[in-house]
Amino acid sequence: MTLDWTLSLSFLLGGVILLMMMGLPVALSFLVTNVVAAFCFMGGLAGVDQLARNSITSVITFSLTPIPLFILMGEVLFQTGLAIKVIEGFDRLIHRVPARLPVVSVVAGTAFSAISGSTIATTAMLGRSMTPVMLEKQYHPTLAMGPVIAIGGVDMLIPPSALIVLFGSLSNISITKLLFAGIVPGVLLAVAFVAYIVLKAVLVPGSAPANDEGTSYHGWEKWRPFVQYVLPLISIFFVVIGAMSTGISTPTEAAALGAAATVILAACYRALSWKSFVAALKSTVNVSCIVLFIIVGATAFSQLLGFSGATNGFLAAIGQLNLSPTALMVSMILILLVLGCFVDQVSMMLLTLPFFMPLVTGAGIDPIWFGVLFLIAMQLGLMTPPFGLLLFTMKSVAPSHITIGQVFASAMPFVVISMLMLVAVFFFRPIATWLPMLLG
């Protein structure tokens, strides 16, 4: 069956979007569309069989094994309760800062980002433990919920990040370089969030309680949770990053080291019970299966776009516009920002990368720079209404009197800060490329 490339593209994209709008999960939406399209474009059942073989091959690859290992690191921390110990460690140190509890949330969330590959788990845990306390102490909802939502998005940028591994695998960009490239923008975002929180507390009376000081500890009692829990757990981050940067191990081997170190530390703290370990394994398997199933669908979808002529037709049409690399980048970022308001991050990757990556390669755009811009755009999508995933995560764990409108409004200042970071990376590439180049 031969169709004009515009009809093929409309059939494939329209089918996926229609099924997702009907409530079908992302993976199943791609699966159904792929089977129907393979039957139409690739010669009936023989084409479906060939597509299935090619798709299965896409997940039998060594480069994808960091995904379950990074997810396992975070699940062990949350299931064993060690994540709460990290909050306590920073809480004792941050004593007399304006808007103390929101600052603790951002700092602790950044620490979780360095030892957990699960964005949603970070937001859910901080939202469940910190937000009710901050609202009870009369913090403005912007400071009680916004920082927790925002720092969950930063989790995507700072390794270990399962989404970075997935993105690198789908785009054929070096996973190791992408993992390093997200560190500087992620840390700068966290610093900007803290600066905004402190300035708002100082300049806007009533946004934070005037007397929010934690219990005063002195000497060893002040530093004990930080030394006992935070430093050993953060050391896992340096084990993972150090193993990759020195060339001792691949991302997969570094992820295995990190997962093993997390489990061993949890056991040493006597926090790892058989029940919590099984719960962490079950959650890891569930999330990993979903991710791998999505990769199967994405690979098949990309093949069908190429086989039907949609990819070549689209690229030829873009080529006729004679866009400069800068104009091309701006166009792609705008598309991502609009998509981020309506679809989840995995769907953004699946729908755009088959078209964007050939354009990036053809225009000679630095793929690492593009990758970081793409990741920041996805991070923005987690916080933007009406379908930002972290917004609904916060609503699910916030007190019942909090409305979804309040959740949306609380995230907006941090969306603006993230937009400014996107602009900064666009105009000053070394923010994204300096660290990967430094580490070789």
390-424 residue pLDDT tens: 887 788 778 888 888 888 899 999 999 999 999 99
**What tokens were used for 309?**
């002529």
Give the domain range for residue 358: 5-439
What is the rounded distance in angstroms from the CA atom of residue 288 to the CA atom of residue 304? 24
Task: Give the residues of the chain that fall short of pLDDT 70.
Answer: 1-4, 26, 55, 57-63, 117-118, 212-216, 294, 298, 311, 315, 342-344, 386-387, 440
- CA of 27: how far to CAs of 291, 300, 359, in Å? 9, 11, 25
Angle at which helix 26-41 crosses helix 345-362, to 10 degrees, equals: 50
Structure token digits, residue 397: 């764990």
CB-based contacts of 292, cutoff 8 Å, min separation 6: 59, 64, 67
DSSP letters along 136-148, please? Answer: HTT--HHHHHHHH
pLDDT at 317: 76
- Cα 348 from Cα 350, distance rounded (Å): 6
Q: Which amino acid is at 425?
A: V
Structure tokens at 116: 């957990």
Q: Please give the structure tokens belonging to residue 22.
A: 């009907």
Compute the residue count for the chain.
Answer: 440
Domain count for the chain: 1
Given a contact cutoff of 8 angstroms between Cβ atoms, the answer to whether 399 and 371 are in contact is no
**Mean pLDDT in the chain?**
82
Round to whole Å and give the CA distance between 248 and 439: 13
> What is the rounded distance in angstroms from the CA atom of residue 407 to the CA atom of residue 148?
11
The pTM (predicted TM-score) of the whole model is: 0.79
Residue with tokens 């990309």: 302
Q: Which letter does DSSP use for residue 134 in this model? A: H
Give CA–CA dist 379/161, Å, rounded.
12
pLDDT value of position 415: 92
- For residue 394, the one-letter residue type is M
Q: What is the pLDDT of residue 59?
A: 64
